[in-house]
Amino acid sequence: MASVLWVALGIVLVVDALVVLRVTTLHTGIVVAFALGLLYLAHGVSRRRVRWLRILVPAGTALLVALSAALAVVGSRDTATGDEDAVVVLGTLVKDGEPTPALRARLDTAAGYAAANPAAVVVVAGGRAPGEDVTEALAMQRYLVARGVAEHRIVREGTSTSTSENFTHAKELLDARLGTRYTAAFVTNEYHVVRAAGIAAEAGVDATHLHARTPWYEVPVDYVREALALGKFVLLRR
């Protein structure tokens, strides 16, 4: 029975990695999820299992599941009041000049917030990653304008290459536009909220948050990726 479980988990991760690769661009989460899936498959079909793997694989899996559940629960508890002076939409991957599904979810959440709070400035933050045709910020601006957000409300931050730079550069733009006394919220997917809040604090940004629901088919890949990124943040604080 245990062997069947590991094989099933392996198939899910391998297939999911390939599915996500079709709708987005290659990134660490896809590679790690695919490799983890192969490990599960090998662990499940092997008749002679290495003793330390018999302990490490179940323990590591339990830790990953527990961490993912905690990130999902905490990240889904929004703290935004709805009357902030600004909302910062954190960028993620763009494919063929268009936002990927996870980024569209963030933008749809931001568009709803902007409609409910028409005085808020909307910052779209994200540079141009390898393989992207345009900056994430430009793709995000186009998407929001097409959904009714007035272009004059949108501030583009198109130079950042990390969440830390998203916040640092967005703060500089907001300070220039609003002064130093304003309130802000940020929008990201639920799995990313905990780390993003920590990074914001490190960058000197006191912000509330809104979550966007991760597309169901991206959940395994995105949570595997976030577990690694969270570990990096805990160790390096960035």
DSSP code per residue over 146-191: HTT--GGGEEEE----SHHHHHHHHHHHHHHHH-S---EEEEEEGG
Does some domain include residue 162?
Answer: yes
Burial grade of 60 (CB within 10 A; 0-12, 13-18, 19 or more):
middle
Structural domain range at position 68: 2-75
Same domain, 144 and 177: yes
Q: Is pLDDT of 1 > 80? A: no
Same domain, 137 and 63: no
CA distance 231 to 199: 13
Does some domain include residue 138?
Answer: yes
Does some domain include residue 227?
Answer: no
Same domain, 209 and 96: yes
CA distance 64 to 226: 10
pLDDT per residue as tens digits for the range 186-200: 999 999 999 999 999
CATH code: domain of residue 142: 3.40.50.620
Q: How many domains does the chain have?
A: 2
Distances (CA, A) of 122 to 144, 178, 180: 10, 12, 16
Same domain, 116 and 15: no
- C-alpha count within 13 angstroms, C-beta hemisphere, residue 125: 28
What is the per-residue burial (b if ≥16 Cβ within 10 Å, else e) of 220-231?
bbbbbbbbebbe
pLDDT per residue as tens digits for the range 21-71: 999 999 999 999 999 999 999 888 876 766 777 788 899 999 999 999 999
Same domain, 157 and 209: yes
pLDDT per residue as tens digits for the range 118-143: 999 999 999 998 888 899 999 999 99
pLDDT per residue as tens digits for the range 74-96: 999 999 999 999 999 999 999 99
pLDDT per residue as tens digits for the range 158-186: 999 999 999 999 999 999 999 989 999 99
Q: Is pLDDT of 150 > 80? A: yes
Does some domain include residue 225?
Answer: no
CA distance 2 to 180: 57
Q: Is pLDDT of 154 > 90? A: yes
Specify the pLDDT at position 52: 73
CA distance 143 to 122: 13
Q: Is pLDDT of 214 > 70? A: yes
